[in-house]
């Protein structure tokens, strides 16, 4: 049973993972606030027991002990913190900022430097696990930062995470671990889509193919999760194609900076970019399968 305490946290970005994280904070007894431009998301969080939620977190900034950023990219992180009416200047010194967007290591360092000017603590703390893990407070967190930052944000970590990996003190290390993870995630989705497309071309029922793979050695978490969307013909976005265009671009940029070849990740990036270019960017990332010609997928009309 959740117990109440005086720790105040605001979750900025109430998408599928942010909403789950915020609700997990409520369940853990944290005084939880939310910020998002979507009024429906704010109303949902208030109905779940949030202290307040709205488009502007600065309204309750002086009450906060911590901020959890679960927005899409570095540009959004910087806009929230340092843009017009930015949050950083309105938070109390010593407030903990957990930056959990998937961003480049260089951007994480830039954000940390900006926060330090305001006396704020930062954890470079990307997350994984999807909406389902976020909703149950069982996300995986890969975090880097000072011991003081970890201590300050421990109530948030305890609320939202099943596993917390402390990968080092240097800001940027958490971001890099997440980027390497996204290399695998993107390649697994692309490979799963290729396999299911081949099955469709060969006339194998995709539900059968899915059952075989998920009970055999070729399975992966991404195949099991995303290819179920293909079997169901459901491309409502849990994580959109364009997210992986962005993430695999970060993978490529990281490799370029290290002068390191990534042949599989490069191919996966091309597949997702092609899917986005074909008009599927806002659909679930499993929609990368739609770029294969000569097949009929569940929910599609039979090709003539």
What pLDDT, in 10s, does the model give residues 247-264?
A: 999 999 999 999 999 999
282 in catalytic set: no
Mean of pLDDT values over 17-42: 97
176-291, CATH topology level: 1.10.1040
Please report the pLDDT score of residue 4 as a whole number: 46
Contact yes or no for 13/70 (Cβ under 8 A): yes
Checking DSSP bridges between strand 161-168 and strand 31-35, what pairing results, if any? unpaired
Please report the pLDDT score of residue 153 as a whole number: 98
Please report the pLDDT score of residue 2 as a whole number: 40
| pLDDT above 50 for 304 | no
Contact yes or no for 115/88 (Cβ under 8 A): yes
Contact yes or no for 245/269 (Cβ under 8 A): yes
pTM of the model: 0.91
For residue 153, the surrounding DSSP H or E stretch is helix 147-160
Rounded to the nearest 5°, which phi and psi values hold at 66? Answer: -155, 155
| Catalytic pick among 152, 178, 238, 290 | 178
**Chain centre distance of CA 144:** 17
Contact yes or no for 17/72 (Cβ under 8 A): no
Which residues of the chain are in CATH 3.40.50.720 domains?
8-170
Which residues of the chain are in CATH 1.10.1040.10 domains?
176-291
pLDDT band for position 302 (50/70/90)? low
Write the CATH number of the domain with boundaries 8-170.
3.40.50.720
Rounded to the nearest 5°, which phi and psi values hold at 303? Answer: -70, 145
Query: Per the structure block, which two tokens stand in for 26?
Result: 């409520």
DSSP code, position 299:
T
User: Per-residue pLDDT tens for 261-276?
Assistant: 999 999 999 999 999 9
Mean of pLDDT values over 10-14: 98
What is d(CA 9, CA 123) in angstroms, rounded to the nearest whole number? Answer: 14
């Amino acid at each position: 049973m959740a117990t109440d305490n005086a720790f105040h946290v605001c979750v900025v970005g109430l998408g599928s993972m942010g909403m789950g994280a915020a609700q997990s904070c409520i369940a853990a007894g944290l005084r939880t606030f939310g910020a998002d431009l979507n009024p429906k998301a704010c109303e949902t969080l208030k109905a779940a027991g949030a202290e307040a939620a709205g488009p502007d977190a600065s309204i309750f900034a002086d009450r906060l002990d911590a901020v959890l950023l679960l927005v899409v990219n570095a540009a959004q992180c910087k806009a929230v913190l340092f843009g017009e009416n930015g949050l950083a200047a309105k938070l109390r010194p010593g407030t903990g900022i957990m930056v959990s967007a998937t961003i480049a290591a260089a951007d994480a360092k830039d954000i940390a430097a900006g926060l330090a000017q305001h006396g704020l603590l930062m954890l470079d703390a990307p997350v994984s696990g999807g909406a389902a893990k976020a909703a149950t407070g069982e996300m995986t967190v890969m975090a880097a930062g000072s011991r003081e930052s970890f201590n300050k944000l421990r109530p948030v970590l305890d609320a939202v995470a099943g596993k917390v990996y402390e990968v080092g003190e240097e800001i940027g290390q958490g971001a890099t671990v997440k980027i390497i993870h996204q290399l695998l995630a993107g390649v697994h989705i692309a490979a799963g889509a290729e396999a299911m497309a081949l099955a469709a071309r060969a006339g194998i029922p995709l539900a059968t193919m899915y059952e075989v793979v998920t009970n055999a050695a070729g399975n992966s978490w991404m195949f099991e999760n995303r290819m179920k969307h293909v079997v169901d013909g459901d491309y409502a976005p849990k994580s959109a194609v364009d997210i992986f265009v962005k993430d695999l671009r970060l993978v490529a940029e990281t490799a370029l900076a290290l002068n390191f070849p990534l042949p599989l990740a490069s191919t996966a990036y091309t597949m997702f970019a092609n899917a986005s270019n074909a008009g599927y960017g806002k659909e679930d990332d499993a929609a990368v399968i739609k770029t294969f010609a000569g097949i009929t997928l569940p929910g599609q009309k039979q090709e003539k």
